[in-house]
Amino acid sequence: MFLSLLLFGASGIVLLSILGFVHMPGAHHGSGHSGSLHTGHGHTSALPHAGHGHAASVPHGGHGHAAPAPHGGHGHAHGPQSHGIKFSKPAGGASGVLKSLLIGFLSPVQIFGFCVGFGFIGVILQPILAGPLLIGLAIIAGLLFDFALLPMIMNLVIGFTRPSEGLEAAVATLATAESGFDAKGQGIISVEIDGARRELLALLPPSELPTARTISKGDKLLILEVDAKRNRCTVSTETVSS
């Protein structure tokens, strides 16, 4: 049983990593706020009372026009329905926290991770332990692996599989002159891209051609623009002081 769970969990994590479906809890980076406020533009369908009035029960309401009113008249509603604003109750208390943890734990990555930790410790300790003690230690190991080790492992995997930024990422960064520049403002520079050093043909802008001969190997130059197809770039001697 333990070996089967170990192989099942490891295979699932590898498969999800390959398919790019890995989604770690707590790794959301966005601007949305769930369960708080949903805004939109709408109009209330009816007003139960006629006349001109303002409802001030909700301080955060929008401004809208009510239509139609059964008794006629003109009204302005300041409330959640005036602009289609809906307030949803956030899940609060211990039950809400428990529900969030349960939903996160039921994600495929978490299930596979728990199986790996549970199965691994079970295989290791099975020759010397048995019964409830073995199961209990395996459960603890599964939880520790799931919420402590697995996030670090997946961050490393994602870091290694992150797509290359390309030569365009070198714009506005400092490069190092690998040779002197000739009178035409041409020379060789090196720059670090994706953790690797690359050498490029560098050109000075026309306004800096008079200073071309003053550039020596090891000087810092600012990359202004790049031409990835020709593997060259335009640089400037006017670097930004760090």
Q: 233 near 223, Cβ under 8 Å?
A: yes
Q: What is the pLDDT of residues 7-19, one digit of tens each?
A: 776 777 677 667 6
Task: Tell me: pLDDT of 130 over 50.
Answer: yes
Q: What is the pTM of this model?
A: 0.35
Task: Tell me: pLDDT of 5 over 90.
Answer: no
Domains along the sequence of the chain with CATH: 2-31+90-161 (no CATH), 167-236 (2.40.50.140)
Higher local confidence (pLDDT), 230 or 67: 230
Q: What is the pLDDT of residues 88-117, one digit of tens each?
A: 444 455 555 555 555 555 667 777 777 877
- Please classify residue 156 by burial: count the beta carbons closer than 10 Å to its beta carbon, then call 0-12 exposed, 13-18 middle and 19+ buried: exposed
Mean pLDDT value of segment 156-184:
77
The predicted structure's pLDDT at residue 162 = 53
Higher local confidence (pLDDT), 237 or 156: 237
The predicted structure's pLDDT at residue 188 = 93
Q: Mark 4-33 as b/e (b = at least 16 C-beta within 10 Å).
A: ebbeebbebbeebbeeeebebbeeeeeeee
Both tokens of 48, joined, read: 């139960």
Percent of the chain with pLDDT over 70: 54
Task: Tell me: pLDDT of 154 over 60.
Answer: yes
Higher local confidence (pLDDT), 131 or 55: 131
Both tokens of 176, joined, read: 């190092």
CA distance 193 to 166: 7
Task: Tell me: pLDDT of 233 over 90.
Answer: yes
